[in-house]
Amino acid sequence: MRRVVLDANVFVSALIRPVGPPGRILERLVNNEEFVLVVSPAILDETRASLGYSRVRRRIDGSDDEIDAWVSALGVLADVVAGEIELNVVAADPDDDIYVAAALDGRSDYIVTGDRHLLELVEVQGVRIVKPRAFLDTLENDGTA
């Protein structure tokens, strides 16, 4: 089964527009268990922070407590890895290294993101970096993951 790191921007997009590719990816995770979600504490923290931005909060329903519970639930659904591998691969935005570290630590197959700095890498040590639409197409074309 594929092991996948989702960027915080994928989680945010899924909550803002559940019918879009990010929302459909999460639906396939929760309903069909088509892949293993891999996260690190740093990714959960970034997701929690991103969901707290006022421009995001205006676009999603739910109280702060509900959003916090949602992020905590991700940690329960996921394989949580330390993600503490020291590396410097995203020169344009070193904060994005947390995704690569988690992917390598968690033996992931994919990082799914809308972040151009990550997407420019294309692949790191066998981990493919793709947009949500491309990953959803992979799931839909395979029928399994």
- In a 13 Å sphere around the CA of 51, the CA atoms on its Cβ side amount to 28
Number of structural domains (the chain) is 1
Q: Which residue range forms the structural domain that includes residue 106?
A: 3-142
Q: Tell me: the pLDDT tens digits for 26-41?
A: 999 999 999 999 999 9
Q: Tell me: the pLDDT tens digits for 108-128?
A: 999 999 999 999 999 999 999
Read off the pLDDT band of 144 (50, 70, 90).
Answer: very low
pTM above 0.75?
A: yes
State how far the Cα of 132 lies from the Cα of 53, in Å rounded to an integer: 22
CATH no. for residue 15? 3.40.50.1010
